Amino acid sequence: MSRGCLTAAATALALAACDSGTSGAAAPTPDATPTADAATTPAQNDAQPPDTGASDAKAPDAALPVTDAALPIADAIADATGDATPPAPDAAAPPVELCDRPGDEDRDGRFDCADPDCFAAAVCVPAVEVCGNGLDDEGDGRADCCDPDCTAVCPPLEVEAFTEAEVQMLFDTECDVCHMDGRRDGTLALDAPFLATTLGAMSEQLREMAIITAGDRQQSYLFHKVNDTHMQIGGAGLRMPVETGLCVSDIERLGLYIDALVVP
């Protein structure tokens, strides 16, 4: 029963009570407690849709099997959406030469920068000295006009020959690790007095040339070693000093000293 119906019923009971009072008959007092129908909330009295049993229906547990006729359609959908699984590779990728690590990774008999695969690698491209920037761009221990690579763009050297004492000081500073105090690379010893072991003594790396030939730098193997021209005349080994090298001006002063030597 709706709230409007309850109000109308209460009004009718009140009117009936008034009529009864006029006639002298006692009218019963209406019960204040609402009936079960009146206590029912509107939400409980709203009409509910009939239960058709559709809510108990369940979706099938398994999809229908794909027939052979449907497979081409499924493949076409997979190709169009990119869902197709890529085929497995037939074989492992070939090994690649690692240019900055010792070894022949691709097993072609050529190692690192000697492998054509590495010719364009940064570690295999020779650096070029930029003359005048104050840096040792190629990492040979000599920068700008101290580097022979810059001779063509640097002003002509105007230097004087080393004295014998200055040459000995140069050897003490630059060659002490390998050629002094009993440490000899080959037969070259540069302890003072250095001329005692170098003047007229034949080089071990180039036996037809003396270590120092008085009056001729071009026939002095020591000069070629510090000038980094020893390989051009059939020598061997590394430039001297190995790590830093001498500045061009110091090399020229040493050359002038040898040229001025007189055979005793």
Q: Which stretch of 43-52, 131-140, 146-155, 175-184 has the lowest confidence by average pLDDT?
A: 43-52
Q: How far apart (Å, rounded) are the C-alpha atoms in residues 102 and 120?
A: 17
Mean pLDDT of the chain: 76
Report pLDDT for 72. 60
- Residue 204 class from Cβ within 10 Å (0-12 exposed, 13-18 middle, 19+ buried)? middle
Return the DSSP state at 58. Answer: -
Helices 164-174 and 248-260, packing angle to 10 deg: 140
Q: Widest CA span of the chain, in angstroms?
A: 170
12 vs 2: CA distance, rounded Å: 16
Mean pLDDT of 37-55: 49
Residues 6+ apart with CB under 8 A from 118: 97, 99, 112, 124
Phi/psi class of residue 178: alpha, beta or left (left: φ > 0; alpha: ψ in -120 to 50)? Answer: alpha
Q: Around Cβ 248, how many Cβ atoms within 10 Å? A: 21
More confident residue, 243 or 113: 113
- Highest mean pLDDT out of 128-142, 149-163, 202-216: 202-216
Supply the pLDDT for residue 86: 61
pTM: 0.51
Lowest-pLDDT range of 29-43, 153-167, 172-186, 238-252 = 29-43
Q: What is the pLDDT of residue 38?
A: 44
Least confident of 36-45, 47-56, 78-87, 168-177: 36-45
61-75, 126-140, 219-233: which has the highest mean pLDDT? 219-233
**Whole-number pLDDT of residue 100:** 85
DSSP state of 40: S
**Residues pairing with 202 in the sheet:** 210
